[in-house]
Every structure is written in structure tokens, then in C-alpha cells.
Amino acid sequence: MIAFQGARGAFSEEAARKLAGPRVAVLPCERFEDVFRSLADGRADGAVVPIENTLAGSVHENYDHLQHFDLPIVAETSVRIVHNLIALDGVTFGRLRRVYSHPVALNQCLDFFKNNPKIEKTTFYDTAGSVKMLAEEKMRDAGAIASAVAAEIYGARILRRSIEDDRQNFTRFFLLRTPEYARRHAVRAPKNAAWKTSLVFSTRNVPGALFRVVSAFALRDLNLAKIESRPLRGKPWEYLFYLDFFGRVDSPNVENALNHLRELADYMRVLGCYPKGA
């Protein structure tokens, strides 16, 4: 059972099927925190969460949850985000007065709203959930923006396909497991596949601290894929850093870099090691 945020048909569900198999059982949750908690409590045996979008940036709330929960990342994937305009069967485009969706999705379809000024954007907590709501409330003057799968699940129709402004729209997702599960099912990946490791650290607030950390990787020819800063609670203007680099935790090179980082950092934790996603 894989937990994800949103209603059935959410992009997170698509990611869950890519990461855990097309027929996996899913547990839709209302909030990101519930997704993490479902896995921690044993109601689910996996959790799928979005971590960054190529247009909107990082999902900071999930970085914070990765830090607070001890649920290792065991896989990543990315999903191309295609936003479709969806309405109930028999509802024509001309009858739409409002379109519901998640604020991020609405903001990624601004050209559509500019070209159709009579249609009002209306924020809703979830993309697929807005299609579900159309169906439950039998709304005949409103549409929703969501995935094609959401239209199918709730028996609605796609009026316009791919109305997003920018097609370079991808979201990266992590699959999380419990520490026990991750230990028992060490991931088998092709021997020559690239691996990534994600970690979180804070440095002592001294000059050159970040330079030294970045050096610990560069001196060992380990390449960074991403670095992200988040405020450190209780220490104004100090930061936690989330770092992804290419490498496997069990390679001697990476072990040395991590030991070096432990010398430099006030706090450090590996969040997971997983094959680079497609």
C-alpha cells in the first residue's frame, strides 16, 4: 500500500505506479504530513512525495518532513505534468464560468486564462480532487484542471488537452520506505547504473564552511546534482542544506566523503541512496 497526497488520479498516483508497479494498492491522503505519518505508523508500506518541479521549484514542506521523519528514500522518478481542462459529460466549453484546481496548476495555465477571460480561476486543495468535486456536486458550469487519469477515474471528459503554458514541466518524486524495509530489500539496479545519494546537514556558522563541505565532494570527483537551503529553526539566518550527489553510499569514495563531511558538519544525516531515475 503506497500513500500519496491528493485524490485518486493525482500526479503523485502516477508516480506511485511508476515507482511501485502499475497495480500497486494506493492510499490517498489529504496532506503531505499524513503521507509521511501513514508510512511511519504502518498504515502504508511505502510513500510517494513530490520534491521539486522544474517550473515551481522545490516542495519545501516535504524537505522539512524528510528531516523530521526517519523514512529513507529508496527510489526517484520524474513525471511529465500535462494539465487538461476537464468537465462533466455533456458540459460544453461555452458553459464554463469557473475552473477549479490546485494553485500551482492554475499558475501553470495562465495563457489559457488570459485567452478565456470569462472563465474564473478558482483555487482548490488538489488537482484530481477538483474533478472529484465536479462529479460529486454535479457542477455543469465549472471545469477542473487535472491529469487525464483523473478524468477517467471520475467519469469526466477532457475538453482541452495539455493547456499548460510550458511543456518543460516535470515533477520529481521520491519513494520512501521504513528503515527496516529499506534494509531488507536492498535495491538491485544494473551494475553500471548511476546512483544518487541525498543528505541533509548544517555547518558550524564559520567563514568558509560551505566551501569546505562542497570541497569534500569535489576533492573526490563526486558531482553534485542539487543543493537546497532551508531555515534552521531557532537559529535565525542559519540554514540546513539538502544535497544530492551522484554516488553510492557503499563505495569507498563516498564513505570517505561522508566521513569528511561528518568532521565539518554540526549535524548530518543520509536521507537515502537510490538509482538515478529515468
Determine the interface stretch with its own copies among 154-162, 178-186, 192-200, 204-212 (rule: CB under 8 A): 204-212
Is residue 174 annotated as part of the catalytic site, yes or no?
Answer: no
Of residues 24, 45, 60, 189, which one binds its own copies by CB under 8 A?
60
- State how far Cα 9 lies from the chain centre: 15
Query: In the complex with its own copies, which residue's Cβ is closer, 168 or 192?
Result: 168
Cβ(166)–Cβ(108) below 8 Å = yes
Identify the H or E element spanning 178: none
- Alpha-carbon span 86 to 6, nearest angstrom: 17
Subset of residues 163 to 202 that bind its own copies, contact rule: CB under 8 A? 166, 168, 170, 172
* Minimal distance, residue 266 CB to its own copies, in Å: 16
Number of CB atoms found within 10 A of residue 52's CB: 21
Residue 68 contacts its own copies per CB under 8 A: no
Residues contacting its own copies: total by CB under 8 A: 37
Distances (CA, A) of 115 to 76, 91, 118, 165, 270: 36, 20, 9, 12, 47
113 touches its own copies by CB under 8 A: no
Note if 54 is an active site residue.
Answer: no
Q: Near its own copies by CB under 8 A, which window of 15-23, 47-55, 134-142, 185-193?
A: 47-55
Active-site residue, selected from the candidate residues 32, 36, 112, 173: 173
Closest listed residue to residue 16, CA positions, set 30, 4, 8, 31? 4
By the rule CB under 8 A, 264 interacts with its own copies: no
